[in-house]
Structure 1
């Protein structure tokens, strides 16, 4: 019996069964339903690496609570531009998901998205002053019109009791709240999208490793496949390849040899979360509460106490506690980092090592933290937390982008980056947060870069699926309210309301 994919040729090959590949596949199936698509996932199910619900915070990243998206400038001012951009991106994701739900292409939205208010919470005079200025910068904008602000512990306690109960009353605190925030199970969403693909002729292959990518004589790509369970080998020819393998994307992109891959490196950051599944505790907290990152911490290490919905069950999550591991995926080799070093990226990687000593020191400190120290960090946000109520789980592996810089030699980039071959026959995604929440606009960007000739003809369909596509909702209040209300109904979410 053979387990290797029988398909020898495909118009499109998707490498990796995460939210990015599933989203791109759904777009292509909508835009070009006759194109043949094959998806290859190295594990036994899709959405088990970074897209898995316990491998990320599940935050529908809309910049409603994430303070690192609005850093204070040197003059103390807070610029809202990045936060607005991220919110616009998430609105596009909501519209695409709504289109799929409304047309019964995926199942009930309750399987993957729920309303959970988004809060920012800070302690101390300086942080309170910053949060007030952030609120004043965001509140006048259409997409942040629902945001509330308070320095009153009694009101904050109504929003999120656990963060106030047992707190020293002498502490100066402040919080903002957006009631329409969301919690998203990206693993469940990935399975929904993959189910749609499979029901519409896409070949989905589990347990298949793509071990190499080589340029074919016709301008397409020849991929080598391995089925580790049996040791079988095979191959497939593709006109277009998307490398959406999360942390594994860098190796495959390097194997392709395209000039656009030169100079990129990866810096892996691991992490852990505390998880509480006790209903007596979880029922007391209904919010995602984000705080301030420690000095030297990477953006994905912003501490937060979250309500999570996974498989219909409500739990709490706190963290993350950053660490360091040389593997690029939870299930891959510790040799990933050293094997990713190339002559073209060694200078950028050394430059990043030299310029990020504070990050290195932070990671060393985090790795050295024992369980008691981790519980103390939890108590900064939940003063009455009992350590025995919380289990420590390993989060998904994140690989931050290292890229050439003409001035510094190399820079560490926190975010995501679309890379496309010059002829449009291959595309890849590197990086992390806000990642999954912005999968829809990211994959639209990839389509635009890799299929420039087709893209113009797709505009009408894209607009049909996402009425706000091509429009800045923040500058169009009436359309923004209409679309937010419409997607809230489709996804069974709470609508944004205006607060004075």
Structure 2
């Protein structure tokens, strides 16, 4: 086996939407920099970013009830919903910039307009949904949202859900037409095609086996060619670890202090996919329900219209599963080998605190198809088992770390771990993930390249006009951005509340 050493400016590990986004941003800001990408699979966007491995929701808190919690005084906290909505607007602006500059084409291949709805049952939940609606409706980010508990109106909005439904239980929904379905797999492949055109060196079937600091402060990667086993050594001034569930092991190998006392817990997702075109045609929207008491945030049930390969699909889920793998293509030893002397106490503390999650996962793994059908029938009362198949979605590694709330706290969001000197960054965690990729990668750039930010700011503002500005506090700018992104991305005005 030969060993070749090569030096470059930036190395991106992983061929998902995060690496694709960071590479695209850096190529716009520093076109002269040399960038290399290493992906262990044969193509881009095959793991977490793949269209079958995530929900495809443009997460903007329009329908996700877990982003608006009820406080002890009964009021609704909308701060997280505002934050996530504004972050999604950043992604929309960057995608529009790429389309306008003809750096990517055919936006309808990765983004489609679709109503986002929340649907609840029972008096208590209906009261909560109405309070949530009243808390959001006067905020310009949620303009155009409607609420109804009228069965006739709901029959117009969600006929498949309302058909044959017993009339004795209160039911209500909110609807907003400015939601989106995003095919993150297609977007990832488009971004990597763009990077290839910008002379970025993308190596597929190349595994990063190790990462160490060199005496001059740069990072050396041991890269193995999966086809022939040959080894190359690549060094870079900056490394981004964007390998989904595989990021934790590489972060640990880097040895940076910021990566210590962090663990990961893998959770897999299972969706039910409708194979009956007549049923698929009866539903148009992403309808999110409320998680059951004791269930984790990632288990919120939803019935989704999806657009995959320009075909309409209908998915319901997610159901949780468990595998010790950190990636679908990972190893059965991933969880065990991620436990190190510096995080073992953190992991044990999480195990003791999260007994309810363990119990929930065991129950979910044991579910038969018919039991899953029973859950689906809470959304579609007359659902027939023969119309639905099971599809195993992606693996998500939930971050475990020590926080102010205590040792071994399970985090359900997206985490960026950065070395103090900004020479290396790793992305861990899950939802809202891909929807906020541009915001998250701008944070990486800000932390890792502070010396360039003054010089780069005009270009960032050209790509993202709202950069550094609160859209909620600038409704005129928000309206202008919504109008222009809708036009550029082909989200027709009649589908949007901001026309």
Category of TM-score, reference length = shorter chain = over 0.9
Cα distance, 1:268 vs structure 2 = 0.7
- Cα displacement string for residues 412-468 of structure 1 (whole angstroms, at most 9, x for unaligned residues): 011011111111110111100000000000000000111111122111101011111
Moved more, 293-302 or 264-273: 293-302
TM-score, normalized by length of structure 1?
0.97
After superposition, what is the alpha-carbon deviation per residue over 1:252-306, rounded to whole angstroms, capped at 9, x for unaligned? 0000000110111001111200011432221111100000012222212110000
Tell me what 1:364 maps to.
362
Confirm or deny: 8 A CA contact 1:278 1:315 kept in the other structure: no
Residues in 2 aligned to 1:5 and 1:38: alpha-carbon distance in whole angstroms: 17
Determine which of 227, 237, 240 is the counterpart of 1:239.
Answer: 237
TM-aligned CA deviation for residue 408 of structure 1: 2.0
Alignment correspondent of 1:320: 318
Instruction: Show CA shifts across 1:298-352 (max 9, x none).
Output: 2121100000001101000100001111110001001111100111111111111
Shift of 1:107: 1.3
Residue 416 (structure 2) aligns with = 418
Segments of 5+ residues of structure 2 without an aligned counterpart are: none
1:181 paired residue number: 179
For the pair 1:264 / 2:262, whether they are aligned, the reply is yes
From 28, 31, 35, the equivalent of 2:29 is 31
Match of 2:453 among 445, 452, 455: 455
Alignment check: 8 A CA contact 2:54 2:393 kept: yes
Task: Give the Cα separation in 2 of the matches to 1:347 and 1:39.
Answer: 35
Q: Secondary structure at the match of 1:396?
A: strand
Structure 2 distance, partners of 1:343, 1:296, is 31
Flag the 1:148–1:433 CA change in 2: closer, same or farther, 3 A. same
Which deviations, in whole Å up to 9, do the C-alpha atoms of 1:368-409 show, x marking residues without a partner?
Answer: 110000011111101121111111000100001101135522
CA distance in 1, matches of 2:320, 2:119: 20
Residue aligning to 2:273? 275
Matched, 1:159 2:157: yes
- The answer to whether residue 143 in structure 2 is matched with residue 145 in structure 1 is yes
Question: Within the alignment, does 1:497 sit opposite 2:497 as a pair?
Answer: yes
Whole-Å Cα distance in 2 between the matches of residues 84 and 32 of structure 1? 31
- Conserved 8 A contact 1:277-1:314: no
User: Which residue in 2 is equivalent to 1:60?
Assistant: 58
Q: Aligned match of 1:13 in 8, 11, 14?
A: 11
Please tell me whether the aligned partners of residues 71 and 77 of structure 2 are also in contact (alpha carbons under 8 angstroms): yes
Within 1, Cα distance between the matches of 2:467 and 2:89?
9
Matched, 1:194 2:192: yes
Question: C-alpha displacement at 1:5, in angstroms?
Answer: 11
- The residue correspondences of 1:38-437 to structure 2 (distance < 5 A) are 38-405=36-403, 408-437=406-435
Contact 2:5/2:232 (8 A) holds in 1 = no
Work out the CA distance in 1 between the residues paired with 2:374 and 2:175.
25
Supply the distance in 2 between the matched residues of 1:137 and 1:5 (Cα, whole angstroms).
61
How big is each residue's C-alpha offset from its partner over 1:12-54, in whole Å with a ceiling of 9 and x where there is no partner? 0000000000000000000000000000110000101010001
Q: For 1:456 and 1:399, locate their aligned partners in 2 and report how far apart those are by CA, in whole Å.
A: 35
Measure the CA separation in 1 of the matches of 2:12 and 2:296. Answer: 29
Which 4+ stretches in 1 moved above 6 angstroms?
Answer: 4-7
Whether the 8 Å CA contact 2:164–2:382 is kept in 1: the answer is yes
**CA displacement at 1:229 relative to structure 2:** 2.2
Quote the offset at 1:228 in angstroms. 2.2
- Kept after mapping to 2: 8 A contact 1:5/1:205: no
Could you say what secondary structure the match of 1:33 adopts?
A: coil
What is the SS of the residue equivalent to 2:66? helix
Instruction: Name the SS of the counterpart of 1:395 in structure 2.
Output: strand
